[in-house]
Structure 1
């Protein structure tokens, strides 16, 4: 029978806390950057000019149709060779996850705008608004309610994706756990504790996302 010993991990609490802090900070940065990219790409995909919409569509499809782990490895090992710009593991991971999240945010934003009643756009144009004014003052405020639940859900996925950063030796929670497991030879306790930590972090966010979806489905 295996004898569990979580007490032996107490001396490594500072590493675990640092890993949690790094994971949350990294997620916040990637979500913020991804949203900024997503807004630009999502609205750009609605452009009537093919030279704007076509490259953005290619960007979205490339990032949505390739595994994020492959992207992380490519950004860290291949991109510096192609560009001649050396990047740290943290910078490569942040750039990759921001662009990856931006591709999904872009589709959420584009879908929210498209789902808005076309009559709203026609009414705005009828009173003399430009296309940009209609988008800012009429369409986006109405589309925002539809966007919030999927945007929150995608942001939760961004936090989950940070667990892949350990392959680049980025000091997130999972990487710190690997260090501790190697030092203590207690992988069961370490990875169980890490799973619990992710659960405690993600459960409130997941429940909040669920409530947003229910609120929207009721027309709130």
Structure 2
């Protein structure tokens, strides 16, 4: 059986696919920003000598590391509005699902980077009259950041791919728009081939930018 490829109908829907690409970038940027902030808080809690801070943070990290991402999407979109009597649209629910899951992984990246520095760095800060908080901001974190670059970028790379799960909530990201294009054109092979190409290009550009950033930061070590 010979199949006649025809990308014309799919390419005619380029504006719809471009809208999906913008949706993917929006949700990825929001989730990374929120995930990084929450991840840093969790990392500091896990490093705290107080068990009231350390144990809840550890439980949060383990929960998210051991449950599928799609479960979090469904929970925030379908269950959370019922439990808390709030209204969440698809974008907000997907962002919260991605951000909280990624925060668990970012927390481990931050914790590993901070713990990789020896006690001498803390002692140097105290010798200069700094509190532990000041030493963390001025000495520990700046040095730890250069050691976190590779795992941090890898996690962000995975988050960008996971945005495709937002299509299960009918959020207008790239996969959801491609499904709409397929329904309109009845050209699944062409539609999902173009979709795959767009993901490859997007992730290649992200990977190239990430590699450049990693090399730049490594140069300052």
TM-score exceeds 0.5? yes
Q: How far did residue 57 of structure 1 move?
A: 1.1
Structure 1 residue 172, shift from structure 2 partner: 0.4
Q: Which residue of 2 aligns with 1:186?
A: 187
Instruction: Report the CA distance between 1:38 and its aligned residue.
Output: 1.1
Cα offset for 1:217?
7.9
In structure 1, the partner of 2:21 is 20
Q: Residues 146 and 216 of structure 1 are in contact (CA less than 8 Å); yes or no, is this contact kept in structure 2?
A: no
> Matched residue of 1:45: which SS?
helix
Q: 1:72 matched to which residue of 2?
A: 73
Normalised by the length of structure 1, the TM-score is 0.93
Gaps of at least 5 residues in structure 2 are none
- Partner Cα separation in structure 2 for residue 42 and residue 140 of structure 1: 12
Q: Distance in 2 between matches of 1:173 and 1:127?
A: 52
Q: Is the 8 A contact 1:6 1:189 kept in 2?
A: yes
CA contact (8 A) 2:27 2:94 kept: no
Aligned partner of residue 29 in structure 2, secondary structure: helix
Q: Which runs of 5+ in 1 are unaligned?
A: none
Give the aligned partner of residue 124 of structure 2.
Answer: 123
* Segment drifting more, 77-86 vs 191-200: 77-86
User: Per-residue deviation at 1:90?
Assistant: 1.7
Which whole-Å CA distance do the structure 2 matches of 1:4 and 1:42 have between them?
Answer: 51
Query: Is this contact kept in 2: 1:112–1:144, CA < 8 A?
Result: yes
- Which consecutive segments of 4 or more residues in structure 1 shift more than 3 A? 207-220
Aligned partners of 2:146 and 2:218 also within 8 Å: no
Equivalent in the alignment of 1:159: 160
